[in-house]
């Protein structure tokens, strides 16, 4: 993966998910999409995957202190954003970081595939 881009996946995790099961389903979708990004030859980045183990170690009360600050920090290191799923203020904050920096925001796997093929 010498020319791999780092692509953050921005999607709802807790937004609209009132139960742990729904959050787990959302996380599974993140990871399914991450496999597709990886199969395109790029590095998928999911802020939730980085934050959740830290929140578990620090305690649930640390959720707000860790989740979005860590996810937003990751946007600074990534080359593009793949925004999927429904409403999510956190995912929208990630997108805004990319737009402000003039970095690509892709809105579907199909759009990502086209974008990747144009770059090759």
Model pLDDT for residues 43-55, shown as the tens digit of each residue: 999 999 999 999 9
Q: Smallest Cα–Cα separation from 45: which of 33, 54, 28, 57?
A: 33
Q: pLDDT of 72-95, one tens digit each?
A: 999 999 999 999 999 999 999 999
CA distance 70 to 119: 29
Residues 75, 70: Cα–Cα separation, whole Å: 9
Where are the domains positioned within the chain?
Answer: 6-119
Cα within 13 Å of Cα(52), Cβ side: 10
Q: CATH for 6-119?
A: 3.40.50.10400
């Amino acid at each position: 993966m010498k020319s791999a881009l780092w692509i953050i996946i921005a999607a709802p995790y807790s937004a609209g998910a009132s139960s742990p099961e729904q959050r787990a389903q959302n996380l599974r979708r993140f990871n399914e999409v991450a496999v597709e990004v990886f199969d395109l030859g790029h590095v998928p980045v999911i802020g939730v995957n980085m934050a959740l183990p830290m929140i578990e170690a620090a305690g649930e009360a640390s959720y707000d202190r860790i989740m979005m600050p860590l996810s937003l920090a990751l946007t600074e290191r990534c080359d593009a954003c793949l925004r999927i799923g429904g409403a999510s203020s956190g995912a929208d904050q990630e997108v805004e970081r990319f737009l402000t920096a003039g970095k690509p925001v892709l809105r579907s796997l199909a759009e990502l595939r086209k974008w990747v093929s144009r770059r090759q």
